[in-house]
Each structure stands twice: as structure tokens, then as C-alpha cells.
Amino acid sequence: MDRPSHIVTCICTARPGLRAVSSRGARVTLSDGTQYIDLMNGKGCITLGHHHPVVNAAIARHLQSQVACATCWSDQHDELATRIIKDVGLGEARLAFFSTGTEACRAAVQVARMFTGRRVIASAGYHGWGDYWVSPDRLLTANASGIIDFYFVPELLERVLERHRGDVALVMLSPDYVHLKPDTLRRLAEIAKREGVLLCCDDVKQGYRSVRASRFPKAVGFHADLYTFAKGLANGLRLSCLIGRSDVMASAKDFTYTAYFDTIPIVAALATMDYMADQDGYQQLVRCGAALAAEMRNAVRRTELPIEIYGDGPLLQIVSASEPMDQVLYSNCAAAGLLLYEGDNQAVSLATADVFDELIHRFEVGLAATSRQLGPTEPTSVSLHRRFQAAFSMMDGATDIVPAQQAIEWIAEERCSP
């Protein structure tokens, strides 16, 4: 098994569930000696490719130079903070660094509460692990931490803000561009703005992936008050940040930077951003993801399996007509040498382009094995309900492919499922 026996946390890993021995670019060698192509990419935090030489060289130079220390701020911290603020384009913004996306999201909640003097948080999407985000027993009720989930449904957000008018500190959402239309994100943002409630765009997953900083302002037509970033910053090293309006962020002045001035992730982030800028990296990720989705769809059509590929990159989701079929497909793709993020988004890196044809071939092998194993199958297509379930698994919320009332009924089902 891949998990060491003394480690209790059952963090999901890609099938075949073995330990990593080495990795480079888009390839990972596991303990069975097989070299796999990786589409999980550290749950999306590897944007350049594993052990990218530019990032490795920057870290090695930094260590050898003995510049900076873990006791004080450094010029590198200043450079990165200035760059992120410029990329976001929020104006008079301030920033706080953290180690993980969970920390940055928790900090967003705390600054909003301190700034407004209010407690209730209207939330949609995944913002981290811990009791902050535990679902309550009933829909549209607050959990013990004062969090109410509206699941990306505008009508539910309106209800929350109406019922708790004057008590809501923040509307916090993780934008999704696979299962949500820009109009839905725009409606949600406009509702928060109309009610005069602070808005946080949790860009831990989406930020610094298809554009510098966030694509959210262009999608909705205006800026959020706060943003979180993490996975796209440093090619897999632990780094996150909360950035926002200077008056709101002033409440974070006594927060602790849990990495305590460690400059290695900062150096990695600067090297990653430099490389992305020099290579037009964000557009490369978009183009590679779109090409991958198109070729995967072509491969599926040739097998006539009831499988859909949602999204056009750099994130996409593979969804079968049933959960059991998904499990068969994951196993067969692993046997073909392809690591997939089960039940969630596949994420390309810049290195994916180097193995593109081989990746498609391995996916075709996995599809062919699935077709042989299952034969003629029922159902013969991916239903709206099945897509809703898959989207809920990926984004912790409701896709907008069905009317609000239907979405609310299916949300209730998903909340009750194990």
C-alpha cells in the first residue's frame, strides 16, 4: 500500500495506490517500477511539471547563496507580494502570506468578521478541511462556525442574505469554469454587491492557472474584495496568500505567517511566475487542456462508451454514466499507465504537452479495456442527474445545468449521501 502504516490520514492517491519513487515533467515512477503519466499533478498544484529545472535551479542557487533566513522578512517576500498585488490589479491592496489554501481561506473569514463585526459567512465551494466547513443538519442553516452553504445557487444566496440581513460578514465562493456558466458567477457576485456584503473569490484552485492572478473579475465584470491563491503559485511548494482591499486587510495585521519567513516557497513562486511569463505559460495550459479534452472526446466517441469529458482546460472532468463504470475506467487507465484524480478534476501542466500523444494512447487503451470488460452497458448516456452528482463531487456545489428548484432537490440528496 502507498500510505505508511504510522500515518493515520487517508489522503486519496491515484490508482494503483503505490508509492512514488521519482518524477520528472509529466511522468511519475511508482514503486512497481512503472512510469506513469500524471494528470492528477498534486491535485492541480504542479503547473510547470514535476521537478521543473528552472524552479529546482532557483532553489539550489538560493540555498547555496545563503541569502535570507527564517527569522526575518526578505527582499524576496517584498518582490513576490508586489508582483501578486500588481497581477490582481485591485488598486490599494494589501496581502498576507500563509502556507496552505485552508489557512488563507480561514484568514479571509477572520478578516471579514473583524472588519464588519458580523459573524455569518455565506459559502459555496471547497475552502479547506476542518470543522469550519462541516455541513449542518439542515439546508440553509448555519453550522457551529457560522457558515451557511448556498451551493452556487443564486436563489439560495438571496435567501441567505435576506434571512440574515445585517449579520453576513462575507460571501465566499470558489469559482468553477467547468460546470458553471459565467452568467451564474456574475449573478452571485452581483447579489453580494447589491446587498453590500464583502465578496471573497477563493482562487486557491483556479488562480494563476489560465491567467495571471484571477479570471474572476473578467467573468463577472468587477473585482471581489478579497482573493485567495495557492495551487498555481509555486509549482507544488507550500505557499498561499490572502489579498484584498487595504481597509479590510488591515484586520490581518496580527495574523501569524505559519511558514515563518521560509524563503524557499517564495523563491519557487518567483521562478514559476517568471517562467510562466517568459513562455506564455497560462495560455499554453489553456491550449493544452482544450486540445486534451477534444482528443479525449474523440477517443470516447470511437468506443461508444457513455462517457463525457467536461471542461476545455486547463481543468477537466471525466464522467461516466454511472459510478461503477467510473471505477472500472480508473482501474483500466491506471493499468495503462495513466494517473487520474478520481471523482475530481484532471489538471494539465506545461509538461503535459511533451507526452500528449502517449497520454491519448494510454487513455485509448484504458477505454478499450473498459469497453471489453463491460460490454453493452446501461445507461447509454450520462444523465443530467449523473452530471450533477459528478459536478457536486468536484466543486462541492451545484452545476447550473438544471433549474434552481431541481438543483435544490438534488443538493438535498447529495447532502444525505455517504
Nearest to 309 by CA among 355, 360, 350: 360
Four-way CATH pick for 20-52+280-412: 3.30.390.50, 3.40.50.300, 3.90.1150.10, 2.160.10.10: 3.90.1150.10
Nearest to 333 by CA among 47, 40, 49: 40
pLDDT per position as a tens digit, 343-370: 999 999 999 999 999 999 999 999 999 9
Going from N- to C-terminal start, the domains of the chain cover 20-52+280-412, 66-278
Is 1 a residue whose pLDDT tops 80? no
Strand partners, 243: 95, 227
Is the sign of the CA dihedral 198, 204, 206, 212 positive or negative? positive
Is 329 a residue whose pLDDT tops 90? yes
Q: Which fold has domain 66-278?
A: Aspartate Aminotransferase; domain 2 (3.40.640)
3-state secondary structure 376-389: CCCCCCCCHHHHHH
Please say whether the beta carbons of 352 and 290 come within 8 A. no
d(CA 385, CA 238): 36
* H-run or E-run covering 325: helix 323-335
pLDDT score at 418 = 59
pLDDT score at 417 = 65
pLDDT per position as a tens digit, 239-291: 999 999 999 999 999 998 777 789 999 999 999 999 999 999 999 999 999 99
Please say whether the beta carbons of 417 and 343 come within 8 A. no
Nearest to 388 by CA among 364, 358, 412: 412
Exposure letters 268-290 (e unless 16+ CB within 10 A, then b): bbbbbbebbeeeebbebbbbbbb
Strand partners, 229: 203, 241
Nearest to 123 by CA among 167, 186, 169: 169
- The pLDDT of 174-196, averaged and rounded, is 98
Burial classification of residue 139, based on how many CB atoms lie within 10 Å of its CB (0-12 exposed, 13-18 middle, 19 or more buried): middle
What are the CA-CA distances from residue 105 to residues 88, 132, 164, 172, 179 (Å)?
A: 17, 10, 22, 9, 22
- The pLDDT of 384-397, averaged and rounded, is 96
3-state secondary structure 208-268: CCCCCCCCHHHHHCCCCCEEEECCCCCCCCCCEEEEEEHHHHHHHCCCCCCCCCCCHHHHH
Is 161 a residue whose pLDDT tops 90? yes
Nearest to 340 by CA among 355, 362, 321, 356: 362
Establish whether the linkage from the previous residue to 418 is cis, with ω within 30° of 0: no
pLDDT per position as a tens digit, 286-308: 999 999 999 999 999 999 999 99
d(CA 159, CA 148): 11
Higher pLDDT among residues 137 and 142, named by residue: 142
pLDDT per position as a tens digit, 45-97: 999 999 999 999 999 999 999 988 888 989 999 999 999 999 999 989 999 99
